Structure 1
């Protein structure tokens, strides 16, 4: 029998489903998303600091643009900026890599319990990211921006995923890289495991 992956310590419990955030959790895409954001927002003279970007991780693209408009008194057209940002992300998508310690658990547990992706990104973005890494067929369902009315930290996205999988919330384990996501999981009555941000993984490995 294979030994369970050891890089990522999971909370104790017998879970019946794994719910994964996508960006920064399954795929190490946050640096690529940040490049796309910086590029498109520079066209509008809008500053988007790295700390703010990571703090807002899990927010749908449309909400980020609205928040920046309010913060800076701008009138960026939401749909246009969102499409441009997505296009820029897709251009650099071939550089995408998986988060190793999460990939271990996906490969180890696939076929034993159902998986779902619960993301603030668009379905196109999530699908493309997972396809690049050959992981799309490992997930029973994708819950993406547009599938819910209230985004993380509201529990709605995770509760939708649990319902689609036919699993009680308390039997789900959530993999998340943002505080917003962890709060949503907790509000949904689910256990969670926090994935380190890119710079935290570097510090952890001593590089």
Structure 2
């Protein structure tokens, strides 16, 4: 299936995990294993609910939900270490990669992710797309993460494109909400890769 670019789009913004690279199953297993050490059953439903929230705030959210007092850094770092050890297994999401390659050099493009910048760069490198993005707005670059629009607004600002002329590609509910709040066009990529990845 081919994803269409809106004729009014003057800049393209991509979420990374679950949008450009199919890293979500790897993130899920890492979270599930990290949470199990603290007696938390990290279900698929819980994962979907928390998708798009950065690393340490996810642990804070788990503490709220389960009444636990887990150290966010300790659990977060354990989860991220397991994820990093397995991230080479992630496959590119081809319909999205096709757009990136087609519009590279024609329209400004940026990545807006809730992940850490170091891992975002590594993730792009592993699927051979690190040369396609000069602009990456990650967890460390914002004060407010998705569903707050700051991540995408910073992408637009760095691309020099008005928010209304940006098309955002997302797989997460919180990310789509952030893009809409920013006044941007939103494309839900999940319907384009159900066929290929069985998600």
Which of 78, 85, 90 is matched with 2:79 structurally?
Answer: 85
Deviations 1:74-132 (A, max 9, x none): 11111111111111011111211111110110111111111111011111221111111
Counterparts of 2:10 and 2:41 in 1: how far apart (Å)? Answer: 43
* Unaligned ranges ≥5, structure 1: 1-5
Aligned in 2, Cα 1:205/1:21: closer, same or farther, shift over 3 Å? Answer: closer
Which of 176, 183, 196 is matched with 1:182 structurally?
Answer: 176
Are positions 1:192 and 2:186 aligned together? yes
1:57 Cα deviation from its structure 2 partner: 1.3
Q: Indicate the RMSD between aligned Cα atoms, in angstroms.
A: 2.0
* Unaligned ranges ≥5, structure 2: none
Q: Moved runs in structure 1, 4+ residues, more than 6 A?
A: 204-207
1:9 Cα deviation from its structure 2 partner: 3.7
Give the structure-2-normalised TM-score. 0.93
1:205 Cα deviation from its structure 2 partner: 8.7
Counterparts of 2:197 and 2:52 in 1: how far apart (Å)? Answer: 25
> Which secondary structure state, in structure 2, belongs to the residue aligned with residue 45 of structure 1?
coil
1:206 Cα deviation from its structure 2 partner: 8.5
Match of 1:107 in 2: 101
Which of 2, 8, 15 is matched with 1:7 structurally?
Answer: 2
Counterparts of 1:56 and 1:197 in 2: how far apart (Å)? Answer: 20
Match of 2:26 in 1: 32
State how many pairs are aligned.
Answer: 199
Which of 130, 148, 153 is matched with 2:124 structurally?
Answer: 130
Which of 135, 139, 149 is matched with 1:141 structurally?
Answer: 135
Q: Is this contact kept in 2: 1:86–1:125, CA < 8 A?
A: no
Give the structure-1-normalised TM-score. 0.90
